[in-house]
Structure 1
Amino acid sequence: MTDTAHAATPGPRTSRAYWTVVPGRGELRTAPLPAPGPDQVLVRALCSGISRGTESLVHRGLVPARVHERMRAPFQEGAFPGPVKYGYLSVGVVEEGPEPLVGRRVFSLHPHQDRYVLPASAVTPVPDDVPSERAVLAGAVETAVNALWEAGPRFGDRVAVVGAGMIGACTAALLARFPLGRLQLVDPQPSRAALARRLGVEHMAPEDAAGECDVVVHASSTAAGLARGLELLGDEGELIEMSWYGDEDPAVPLGADFHARRLQIRASQVGAVAAARRARRTTADRLATALDALRDPRFDALLSGSSRFEQLPETMDRLAGGSSDVLCHVVAYGPTT
């Protein structure tokens, strides 16, 4: 038996991908699909996920010029504000490639596309007991894992997660497994109470949240949320900032008692493994940890509907200007397993 298995497919092959053509308008484009090389895989997409916050900024052309390079997705084509092929939550089946991977479901940080070729090292097998739709959350859960490696919550800690969007909800779902003294998911939308119940955490409106927190994780992407998060900290407490603000520069309230109470703000960004684990964990380890965490069915609470790949231009337009109740929208390419 050889180490690789590449099925011969005669004739030229093509794939279809979603592109943001100009701010506010996207389309499906057809392009040649190359044959995979010896260390590559050909993946047929089952489903992908739309991370509403970030992808709405891309759709609307609101990625600031000064962060265009830092905001590039791993397999992005084109450039902001467009035309650009963007996205980073894809689950599919390996059709060609190294023998151990053929027929396996895998997760990759690839844009919305029905078939694509990647280095074999860029895909991570999905555990058999994790449904494909839930597995698209791996990128968001990986971001949450990184933040918790940064934060290092301790036994009995009082923790608040401010912002119940996709990233905040994933973080709260992971924290629900910790032996904390208190955990609150803080969000002004009353509808988030149902989400919090499904995640097994307590929902609180910002004005009702409990203070004296040891750790606050901020993921609301609003200046008001950041200010409230700092207010919720106890003396010498730490706020982990996970928000992405697009082209906004929020005011950070560093007056009043910020210095007197010796509060701390620390950024967390998934581009690098958290410093506390960097010597012992790779990005591949971190993603595998996230996929393992997705065995927990409570993450299904973050899936906010689905639509067909062929409908993606209309779907993206609707999500970019629609209800903020949407967390992760699933794009279906065919029967999922």
Structure 2
Amino acid sequence: MSVPDTATAFWITREAYGELRREPLASPEEGEVLVRALYSGISRGTESLVFNTRVPESEYARMRAPFQTGDFPTPVKYGYCSVGRVAKGPQTLRDKTVFCLYPHQDHYVVPADAVLPLPEQVPAHRAVLTANMETAINGVWDANPMLGERLCVVGAGVVGALVAYLCAQIPGVDVRLIDINPEREALAAQLGVSFCTPDEAPVDQDCVIHASGHPQGLRLGMGLLGNEGRLIEMSWFGKGDVALPLGGAFHSQRLTLKASQVGQLPAVLLPRWNYRRRLTLALSLLTDPRLDALISGESAFADFPAIAPQLFGPGSTALCHRIRYPMSSF
């Protein structure tokens, strides 16, 4: 089987601008696989910050994606939601549909242990949610919701919706998904989660998980907590400061504010868990067809540079936007 000499990848080459670039593609060596991309997913929260060059300089090293090329702010090839078919590699993986934490690119070569075969019940078009599901799992682990707790998730984007979806499956946990966009009620209903707008949000909550990406969402979440309540912050704000009302009930009610970030496993799980086990779990949780509601659109790879400014712009209401790659001739 012949291997293409070049691949095409999406690069962010300056603030709020991306383009497709051709680059050399090496033949896979022993222990490597050649993957032909079928789909990639846009993780809009983090990728919006990268596209708009809002990654703080202090986080340049920590926020690198596993197969990122280039450096922040630009030029950079960034992304981590690729689904493809193994065209060449070990016999155990040949022709398998796999997930890889790879940027938006039509063909790529990676170590064989960097790809995970999809479970039979998980279609390729839904597997682009794997990285978001992995983030949601980590958020639920960090929140540690207990039987009978009252819990709110602020922000009905992909990660927030997935967190609410997972928490709602814990017996006795009363979950509310909160968003300023009332149209997200239909999404919540599809996922089997109760929904409300901020003015309807319940108070005296045991736990609030914030995933809106906006400071006002974080402030709302803090105001919903009851005594000894805990807030799990899943948003990454990038550059800029966030003002919080710490002069009110924060001290008197002994509230807790804790960060959750998918780049690290919770310390309590480290003796038995690693990143591959967590990613395998994320894939296994994508069998539910209702999760297709989180895919809000699809575009051809060739159109990605033209639509990127709108997808990553401040007024975007996209959830997970899926990129479709052309069929290969090899």
Question: Structure 2-normalised TM-score?
Answer: 0.96
SS in 1 for 2:249: coil
**1:181 matched to which residue of 2?**
173
Is 1:118 the counterpart of 2:118 in the alignment?
no
Say which of 261, 284, 292 aligns to 1:292: 284
Q: Is the 8 A contact 2:227 2:255 kept in 1?
A: yes
Partner AA of 2:44 in structure 1: R
Q: Is the 8 A contact 1:149 1:276 kept in 2?
A: no
**1:3 matched to which residue of 2?**
none
Say which of 225, 244, 247 aligns to 1:233: 225
**1:144 matched to which residue of 2?**
136
Q: Is the 8 A contact 2:167 2:173 kept in 1?
A: no
Is 1:27 the counterpart of 2:11 in the alignment?
no
Which aligned pairs between 1:243-254 and structure 2 lie closer than 5 A?
243-254=235-246
**2:256 matched to which residue of 1?**
264
**Whole-angstrom distance in 2 between the partners of 1:37 and 1:65:** 35
**1:129 matched to which residue of 2?**
121
Partner AA of 1:294 in structure 2: L
**Whole-angstrom distance in 2 between the partners of 1:47 and 1:242:** 26
SS in 2 for 1:132: coil
**Whole-angstrom distance in 2 between the partners of 1:208 and 1:165:** 19
How many Å apart are 1:225 and its aligned residue? 0.9
Q: Is the 8 A contact 2:45 2:213 kept in 1?
A: no
SS in 2 for 1:330: strand
**Whole-angstrom distance in 2 between the partners of 1:262 and 1:295:** 40
Q: Is the 8 A contact 2:301 2:325 kept in 1?
A: yes
Partner AA of 2:82 in structure 1: S
Gaps of 5+ in 1: 1-6
Is 1:82 the counterpart of 2:74 in the alignment?
yes
How many Å apart are 1:60 and its aligned residue? 1.6
Is 1:217 the counterpart of 2:183 in the alignment?
no
**Whole-angstrom distance in 1 between the partners of 2:101 and 2:287:** 19
**Whole-angstrom distance in 2 between the partners of 1:335 and 1:28:** 17
Partner AA of 1:307 in structure 2: S
Say which of 71, 87, 94 aligns to 2:63: 71
How many Å apart are 1:276 and its aligned residue? 2.6
Say which of 126, 134, 151 aligns to 1:159: 151
SS in 2 for 1:137: helix
**2:194 matched to which residue of 1?**
202
Question: Structure 1-normalised TM-score?
Answer: 0.94
1:81-124 C-alpha deviation (Å, 9 max, x unpaired): 21110111000001111111111111111000000001111111
**2:316 matched to which residue of 1?**
324
1:4-60 C-alpha deviation (Å, 9 max, x unpaired): xxx5x27x6111000011112111111111111111111000000011222122112
**Whole-angstrom distance in 2 between the partners of 1:54 and 1:327:** 13
Say which of 251, 274, 281 aligns to 2:266: 274
How many Å apart are 1:322 and its aligned residue? 6.4
SS in 1 for 2:250: coil
SS in 2 for 1:107: strand
Q: Is the 8 A contact 1:147 1:274 kept in 2?
A: no
1:137-182 C-alpha deviation (Å, 9 max, x unpaired): 1000000101111111111111100111121111112112111331
**Whole-angstrom distance in 2 between the partners of 1:265 and 1:130:** 35
SS in 2 for 1:168: helix
How many Å apart are 1:334 and its aligned residue? 3.3
How many Å apart are 1:300 and its aligned residue? 0.8
